[in-house]
Amino acid sequence: MMSMHKLAAGDGYAYLTRQVAAVFRDGQDPVTGEPLGRRYAGRASTVVGNDLTFTVPKSASELWALGDDATRATVHAAHHAAVAQTLAFIEQKVVRTRVGHAGCRQVRTQGMIAAAFDHWDSRAGDPNLHTHVALANRVQGPDGRWRSLDGKTVYAAAVTVSELYDVLLADDLASRATP
């Protein structure tokens, strides 16, 4: 399952990490410090990204938590493979920006900025293998200029992306379990 939540300016992203979050907070290149387009307005309601959370089904999380080392490694590897393939799909088929007068044209980008964070349990402490992927609201258009991500395309694809992750995970688990 994949769920999605907006990451707000201020400390809305701090749940994930404090080390790389400045990329999302400030909209700057993490290496050079160069701005990635216009600065954010700085209001707490400013959307600086989206948290895409990829969660292994409860039965697979329990198998991962209670299994031997080989079983744990199998579930973990299948999860990471499904996340990686799903992110490749998002980058190729979902992520877009807008150009032209009043953003009248939707165009492909030169990729996306994302950071993944593995979590091992739920807030209640139950086994819950899942990965948060913070998807930045800054993308580079085909002309090299940094612009905002067209969030409508990401939201419109949420169910498709979730189903894709589920199918890829199930397929990978089945293929790894078969001798």
Chain position carrying tokens 């307005």:
41
**Which pLDDT does position 10 carry in this prediction?**
64
Angle at 123 between CA 117 and CA 43, to 5 degrees: 65
- Predicted confidence at residue 131, as pLDDT, reads 94
Domain range enclosing 68: 2-177
| pLDDT in the model for residue 19 | 41
Residue by residue, pLDDT tens for the chain (179 residues) are 877 777 776 666 565 554 445 576 677 777 788 888 887 766 767 888 898 999 999 999 999 999 999 999 999 999 999 999 999 999 999 999 999 888 889 999 999 999 898 989 887 888 999 999 989 999 999 999 999 999 999 999 999 999 999 999 999 999 988 76
Domain count, the chain: 1
Q: What are phi and psi of 95, to 5 degrees?
A: -65, 125
Q: How far apart are the first and last CA of the chain?
A: 27
**C-alpha closest to that of 117 among 28, 49, 47:** 49
